[in-house]
């Protein structure tokens, strides 16, 4: 039995808590917000995010961040924008031999750093790992078979996470390509937003397939420029996560995109849906592509649509009207030190 703390009592944090408890571990969940904890304690559920899921009383809920002390594993389930703040708060209490496992998918605003880099800065003495892949909280919490990837520069830590979290309904693969897994997880939110726009515009399956296929090419282009391995993008953290996000109504990125495609202003759509990490990630990926000198056509059109007032149909027209080329043309695949 492992002793696990989870930071964040949102949909994903709680779904992991339910899964870890089911796997026989001791689980504590921290939230910054007392009202979130009160709601879960009062109703025994988190209806808005995990409908139909009972949150067992054996999961300890607290607002005391010192709960991370002496844990085998500290899982971070907070949206990207708040990660650094929460990690700085937790750092004084975290024991040196605890593994820190990030689950947030995105890049840090302004610095454009990946989450593992942010965490390495916050927890310099700890081993950092990331968990990513196709894993909707709503399904994970209900015990629907799910596969994910754990990646870390420390293979022993990956093996440990794989061993303690894998169970009958949750299968964990190990991948040593940390940057590839992180870029796959972050950028699929951008492509899922664009996929929602395509759906909102009422386009067909052909258009969606085109977007997803060229989307994974684009994710791979950015990943390789940052030092990732090409084959990672054919795996769970690449095409796997892209499929689940672009095709499901569980995806808040896709749902926001659908509203935008139907004519709702982008900021209003994001407000209506809630946590839409693809929105800020589009800006970050656009900036990162410029910095690295790589071309990301879908991200660029989505950026113009979200932040410069371009209309959805115009963005689609611009993508379709680009100069024709070879499907496997890789002239932009230059590796950079990152």
Ligand X SMILES: NC(=O)c1ccc[n+]([C@@H]2O[C@H](COP(=O)([O-])OP(=O)(O)OC[C@H]3O[C@@H](n4cnc5c(N)ncnc54)[C@H](O)[C@@H]3O)[C@@H](O)[C@H]2O)c1
Question: Which residues in the 16-45 window bind ligand X by CB under 6 A?
Answer: 31-33, 36
Q: Is 260 helix (H, G, I), strand (E, B) or coil?
A: helix
Report, in Å, the least distance between residue 78 CB and ligand X.
4
What does the alpha-carbon distance between residue 196 and residue 83 come to, in Å, rounded to a whole number? 26
Check binding of 12 to ligand X (CB under 6 A).
yes
Tokens of residue 148, six digits = 């994910």
Q: Are 286 and 218 in contact (CB under 8 A)?
A: no
Check binding of 188 to ligand X (CB under 6 A).
no
Cβ closest to ligand X, residue 105 vs residue 255: 105
Question: Which residues in the 274-333 window bind ligand X by CB under 6 A?
Answer: 275, 277
What does the alpha-carbon distance between residue 236 and residue 133 come to, in Å, rounded to a whole number? 5
Question: Which residues in the 116-135 window bind ligand X by CB under 6 A?
Answer: 135
Report, in Å, the least distance between residue 337 CB and ligand X.
27
Report, in Å, the least distance between residue 93 CB and ligand X.
15
Tokens of residue 149, six digits = 């990837």
| Residue 34 CB partners (closer than 8 Å, separation 6+) | 63
Is 262 a catalytic site residue?
no
Q: Torsions phi, psi of 29, nearest 5?
A: -115, 130
The one among 8, 180, 261, 312 contacting ligand X by CB under 6 A: 8
Span near ligand X by CB under 6 A; candidates 4-12, 60-68, 194-202, 305-313: 4-12
The one among 2, 19, 28, 49 contacting ligand X by CB under 6 A: 49
Cβ closest to ligand X, residue 34 vs residue 95: 34
Quick one: which H or E segment has residue 65?
none
Please tell me which residue in 71, 105, 113, 188 is annotated as part of the active site: 188
Q: What angle do CA 133, 65, 158 make, to 5 degrees?
A: 30
Cβ closest to ligand X, residue 145 vs residue 204: 145
Check binding of 173 to ligand X (CB under 6 A).
no
* Total residues at interface with ligand X (CB under 6 A): 25
| Residue 45 CB partners (closer than 8 Å, separation 6+) | 51, 52, 53, 54, 55
Angle between helices 312-320 and 297-307 (to 10 degrees): 160
Span near ligand X by CB under 6 A; candidates 97-105, 195-203, 216-224, 305-313: 97-105
CA distances from 319 to 160, 207, 260, 291, 313 (A): 44, 11, 17, 22, 10
Q: Could you identify the residue written with the tokens 């660029």? A: 300
Cβ closest to ligand X, residue 232 vs residue 245: 245
Catalytic positions are: 188
Which residues here bind ligand X, judged by CB under 6 A? 8-13, 31-33, 36, 49, 77-80, 82, 86, 103-105, 135-137, 275, 277
């Amino acid at each position: 039995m492992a002793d696990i703390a989870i930071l964040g009592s949102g949909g994903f944090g709680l779904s992991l808590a339910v899964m870890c408890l089911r796997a026989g571990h001791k689980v504590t969940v921290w939230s910054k917000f007392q009202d979130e904890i009160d709601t879960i304690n009062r109703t025994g559920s988190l209806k808005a995010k995990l409908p139909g899921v009972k949150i067992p009383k054996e999961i300890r809920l607290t607002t005391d961040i010192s709960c991370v002390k002496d844990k085998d594993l500290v899982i971070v389930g907070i949206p990207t924008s708040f990660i650094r703040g929460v990690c700085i708060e937790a750092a004084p209490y975290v024991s040196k031999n605890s593994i820190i496992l990030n689950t947030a998918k995105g890049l840090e605003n302004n610095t454009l750093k990946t989450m593992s880099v942010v965490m390495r800065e916050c927890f310099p003495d700890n081993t950092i790992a990331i968990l990513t892949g196709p894993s909707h909280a709503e399904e994970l919490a209900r015990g629907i078979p799910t596969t994910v990837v754990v990646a870390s520069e420390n293979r022993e830590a990956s093996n440990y996470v794989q061993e303690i979290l894998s169970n009958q309904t949750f299968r964990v693969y190990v991948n040593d390509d940390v940057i590839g897994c992180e870029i796959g997880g972050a950028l699929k939110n951008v492509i899922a937003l664009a996929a929602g726009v395509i759906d909102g515009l009422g386009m067909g399956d052909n258009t969606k397939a085109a977007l997803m296929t060229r989307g994974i090419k684009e994710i791979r282009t950015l990943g390789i420029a940052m030092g990732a391995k090409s084959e990672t993008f054919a795996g769970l953290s690449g095409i796997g996560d892209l499929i689940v996000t672009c095709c499901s109504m569980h995806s808040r990125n896709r749902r926001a995109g659908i509203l935008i495609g139907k004519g709702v202003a982008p900021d209003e759509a994001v407000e209506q849906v809630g946590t839409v990490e693809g929105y800020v990630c589009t800006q970050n990926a656009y900036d990162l592509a410029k910095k690295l000198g790589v071309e990301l056509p879908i991200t660029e059109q989505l950026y113009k649509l979200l932040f410069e007032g371009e209309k959805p149909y115009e963005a689609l027209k611009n993508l379709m009207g680009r100069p024709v080329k070879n499907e496997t043309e890789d002239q932009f695949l230059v590796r950079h030190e990152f």
